[in-house]
Chain A
Amino acid sequence: SYELTQPPSVSVSPGQTASITCSGDDLGDKYVSWYQQKPGQSPVLVIYQDNKRPSGIPERFSGSNSGNTATLTISGTQPMDEADYYCQAWDTSSASNYVFGTGTEVTV
């Protein structure tokens, strides 16, 4: 089955840039979304279709996707950005077509 692998944790100082990777076979051929989940809350969509931001998501969140790796970048990271982040892609060959990444805990 298709798998998306993320680093378990990323640590960043306030004001610095955090980069979270998501790896999967030929991931660049698929659309990737990213979700932010704070403790006790439901996930929030922060990036869709690789690099689009939903209304209300700060410009410091950006995304890219090429080859086998998608990246979520948080520029000028703020303490409020501390959360778990999950990537997600749709894979037609997988039993679970909506595939979520393993998740990354971002500590600011």
Chain B
Amino acid sequence: QVQLQESGPGQVKPSETLSLTCVVSGYSINSGYYWGWIRQSPGKGLEWIGWISHRAATFYNSSLKGRVTVSLDTSKNQFSLKLSSVTAADTAVYYCARGAGATTGGYFDSWGRGTLVTVSS
């Protein structure tokens, strides 16, 4: 059974870059699926950030205005998120998840536990 685990700093200063990693176990990330990031601001709903395919094709939420980069490290079976120029509005629980392709509905069938990132000086 696939498992995902997020890791990274719990606090980031305004204007700096948020960096998170998701380690995947139980499935080889270069075998298929899409590997995505979703966030949830305190008390709010879910927001898709972006994903990367097993072949390293990326797709991002354009409302984040080019601040997002998702990358793959197949040697470590993990993928990463970088979000630049953060503000307090980026404070959220960040989840990594495994996703199906858009043609099949783009659903996320496995999620990490999530990690809270607070943007504060």
Contacts and interface: CB of A to CB of B under 8 A. Distances in A.
Q: Do A and B bind each other?
A: yes
Interface of A: 1, 30-33, 35, 41-45, 48-50, 54, 86, 88-90, 92, 95-103
B61 A96 contact: yes
A48 B102 contact: no
A96 B109 contact: no
Interface in B28-73: 36, 38, 45-48, 51, 59, 61-63
A39 to B, nearest CB: 11
A102 B109 CA distance: 20
Contact of B104 (A31, A54, A101): A31
A48 B47 contact: no
Given A44-B111, A100-B47, A103-B45, A95 B63 contact: yes
A48 B100 contact: yes
Nearest to B110: A45
Contacts of B62: 95-96
7 contacts: A50-B105, A90-B102, A96-B47, A98-B99, A100-B47, A103-B45, A103-B46
A41 B40 CA distance: 12
B46 A42 contact: no
Contacts of A42: 95, 111-114
A92 B109 CA distance: 21
Considering residues B38, B59, B106, B112, which has the most beta carbons from chain A within 10 angstroms of its beta carbon? B106
Contacts of B108: 33, 35, 43, 45, 88
Contacts of A33: 105-108
Given A44-B111, A48-B109, A100 B48 contact: yes
Given A42-B111, A42-B114, A48-B109, A102 B45 contact: yes
B36 to A, nearest CB: 8
Interface in B16-34: none
A50 B68 CA distance: 30
B111 A98 contact: no
A59 B15 CA distance: 47
